[in-house]
Every structure is written in structure tokens, then in C-alpha cells.
Amino acid sequence: MEITFVEAFDLPDAWFTLLGHVLDHGREYVVDQGSFEGRKRKELQFVTLKVTNPEQRPLVPPMPPGVSIPPPTTMEYAEEYYHSYFVGADKQPHEEYT
């Protein structure tokens, strides 16, 4: 098993560093079922990630101009997720706890 260890300063640093590792060292495979059947993907076998300053803003990585890769998420989604899962007390179907 190939283990990838990444230490990053903040979340955008972690995202771009891991993306680079996937592009340079990822194992390519073809999706064999689902809506992306037949498409090629890359994956890392096992990742250990340490983010030394996870509270550092921005939380969502800004994509450089001209890059065709979409950002992994939006700040709006991150805030909604935070309020739903970390602050909120409502349990969703198939969840054991909040």
C-alpha cells in the first residue's frame, strides 16, 4: 500500500497539495458503474493529512484565473454544512447523532 502524507498550512494549501499528488502519483482507473461509467479517474491509496492552521481564512480554496478545475466547494455550502451538522440539533434520516 502506498501511503501519502501531506502537511499543509491551511485548507487551500491542503487542497492544492493533494490535487498535485493525485495528478502526479494517482492510480488511474475506469469507473465501471454509475452515472460516470466509462470515465477515467485517479485516486490515492491512502492519505494522511495534517493541517496546521485549519482556521485560517479562506476556508474554501480560491481558484486561479484560467484554471478549468472547479473549486471543491463554495463558502455558502461550507457554512450551511457547519450550521446543519455542527451547530444544529436536527437529525437527518439514517443518522445516529448530530
Average pLDDT, the chain: 92
What are the Cα distances from residue 36, in Å, to 25, 42, 44, 95, 96?
22, 13, 19, 27, 30
Q: Residue 98: which pLDDT band, with cuts at 50, 70 and 90? A: low
pLDDT, tens only, 43-75: 999 999 999 999 999 999 999 899 888 899 999
pTM listed for this prediction = 0.79
Residue 13's nearest CA partner among 46, 43, 58 is 58
The whole-angstrom separation of Cα 59 and Cα 4 is 22
- Domain map of the chain by residue range? 3-87
Is residue 90 scored above 90 in pLDDT? Answer: no
